[in-house]
Amino acid sequence: MSFHTYLARAAPIVSSLDGKTKIALLTGRDFWTTTPLPDHGVTSFVMSDGPHGLRHQDGRADHIGLDGSLPATCFPTASALGATWDAELVERIGAAIGREAASQDVDVVLGPGLNIKRHPAGGRNFEYFSEDPLVSGVLAAAMVRGIQSQGVGACLKHYVANNQESDRFRLDTLVDERTLRELYLSGFETALKLSDPWMVMSSYNKLNGTHVGESEEMIHDILRSEFGFLGVVVSDWLAVSDRVQALRAGLDLEMPCSGRTWDREIAKARGGGELAPGTIDLSCTRVVALALQAADARATRETDVDLGAHHDLARSAACAGAVLLTNDGILPLDAASPGKVAVIGAFAERPRFQGAGSSQVNPTRVSTMLDALDAKGIDVSYAAGYDPLTGDTTDALLAEAAKVAADADVVILHIGLPAAAESEGFDRTDLCLPEGHETLLAAVTRANPRTAVALTTGAPVEMPWADKVAAILLTYLGGQASGEALVDMLFGDAEPSGRLAESFPEAVFDLPADAYFADHPTQVEYREGLYVGYRFHDTFGMPALFPFGHGLGYGSFDIRDARVSSWGSKHSVSVNVTNTSQRAGSTVVQIYVHDV
């Protein structure tokens, strides 16, 4: 049944309500649910965080990951899923998240997020797919389709130009129209063309002087009239600063419950003619329509969950999103005769597999690299090397690591960013690894240059040491099965088949956005314009350390005989792909268009 049908069903219900009841519909009943209309058979619907796994709180309420949540499969974060370039895989993950949501009586999953990675130090970059709006939009649409295939709604977020965490509640993003449309709106437009999400969430920030949730241009004119979105626009949690203007703009639902803070102002504005009654009725109609849609879906959706299959899916997705950045041939290791293998790095024992904040999942189980090695029958020597929570090291830890490295034929050094380094709520101040990890790397490579680095991070880091190690395998934040997936890749049971969906710069100060990132408490100027990520590197001839689209593999492929077919303004490109190696593998066919 289309949303038009639900709107038609909702309209007479809304028209029968008194003004006070209508106003009550415009805010949540509590932290996660909407206001019901029991006399009209309209139930509330339940929302939950869930960009890479469900974070459903049963009886607790917060939006930043402080309190616990019910167990759910923790899949790789969006930065890893972006590197898969695989819409079919992302849709399968969306379906798994949707099924788990259905099993926990959640009606709308608050995800996916598809903000552009304007600057690599953005605190929530691990929650977003790419620096490119096409990749972001296509993969976000796939996630929406997957979630909604299970009778659960999805919510695109955070609309729009919400690209840093610093001062996010009061920040005014200043951006020119071309850049706004070509970079920051384009992904949302693509996602809305390729899917039909139930909701869109407005962001915290202002845009050119007006809060996005209060902007008639952004919501009514562009999101609804141009992009054709019919569903409910919901605020980010605690993001409303002027409810009357937000209603004029077309923001339907304020979350969470504001304790009726705005009721008097809305009633006054309506009574004084500042807010047309039809404006309130339209938002109420959309909210009621969504409640009816959720109720119908709830009655028919399947709720049985195979958590084992979901864990296996998370494991294969972790391999699909991992990127082999460098490799001198040391990988894959030979499980039949691996020699003396040393594993150094506390992440091997206490893995970092997800980001922090509102997306933090309570996993159904967690695999570790050491446990996976043991299950495979691989004997290794191990040294922690650093504190897994802080990244700090000591002389004793360094000495132990150097000794273990020197005694080995090959070293797997597991380093990256600890949880305290990147999270919702703040941005990174640099792109460096913790000093303890850098010091450990230097000590280990001095002791044994046959060192392969497993790099766990949600976003780019600077790697001045990249040419001093034998291989770098970027795992991103690989979800609850990341330990098993890492061992699969190290020994060639699976291929690290990811390709970067973001650029890794040589140094952060090379980027034009760096001069205007998180440098002012109330304002950020997008003076770099379109020159974000590969658009900057390609246009100005400033090479990235690892460019957008980069990724090696264990096999080799020949791609040739490109053919272009055209139908009016649409074009299709086909190529012949040949696996020229002696092992199974995969590659990503990438096509770039430019003016000639």
In three-state secondary structure terms, 390 is coil
Rounded Cα distance between 305 and 303, Å, is: 6
Give the global pTM: 0.97
Q: Is the peptide bond before 388 cis (omega within 30 degrees of 0)?
A: no
What are the phi and psi torsion angles at 576 (to 5°)?
-95, 125
| Closest CA relative to residue 75, chosen from 123, 29, 127 | 127
Rounded Cα distance between 192 and 592, Å, is: 23
Domains of the chain listed by start with CATH number = 308-540 (3.40.50.1700), 555-596 (no CATH)
Beta bridge partners of 361: none
Residue 464: predicted pLDDT: 98
Residue 462, token pair as written in the block:
């600077």
Q: Is the peptide bond before 158 cis (omega within 30 degrees of 0)?
A: yes
| Number of other CB atoms surrounding residue 436 within 10 Å | 20
pLDDT digit string (tens) for 179-213?
999 999 999 999 999 999 999 999 999 999 999 99
Rounded Cα distance between 257 and 393, Å, is: 45
CB 494 within 8 A of CB 319: yes
Alpha carbon 492 to its chain centroid, in Å, reads 27
- Residues identified as active-site: 236
The dihedral over CA atoms of 30, 34, 35, 38, expressed in degrees to the nearest 10, equals -120
Q: Residue 20: left (phi > 0), alpha (psi -120 to 50), or beta?
A: alpha
DSSP state of 98: H
Residue 213, token pair as written in the block:
């949730």
| Number of other CB atoms surrounding residue 295 within 10 Å | 16
Rounded Cα distance between 583 and 552, Å, is: 14
In three-state secondary structure terms, 227 is coil
Concatenating the DSSP letter of every residue in 416-441 gives: E--GGGSBTTB--S-SPPPHHHHHHH
Residue 331, token pair as written in the block:
């990988």
> What are the pLDDT tens digits along the chain (596 aa)?
899 999 999 999 999 999 999 999 999 999 999 999 999 999 999 999 988 999 999 866 665 555 689 999 999 999 999 999 999 999 999 999 999 999 999 999 999 999 999 999 999 999 999 999 999 999 999 999 999 999 999 999 999 999 999 999 999 999 999 999 999 999 999 999 999 999 999 999 999 999 999 999 999 999 999 999 999 999 999 999 999 999 999 999 999 999 889 999 999 999 999 999 899 999 999 999 999 999 999 999 999 999 999 999 999 999 999 999 999 999 999 999 999 999 999 999 999 999 988 899 999 999 999 999 999 999 999 999 999 999 999 999 999 999 999 999 999 999 999 999 999 999 999 999 999 999 999 999 999 999 999 999 999 999 999 999 999 999 999 999 999 999 999 999 999 999 999 999 999 999 999 999 998 899 999 999 999 999 999 999 999 999 999 999 999 999 999 999 999 988 899 999 999 999 998 999 999 988 87
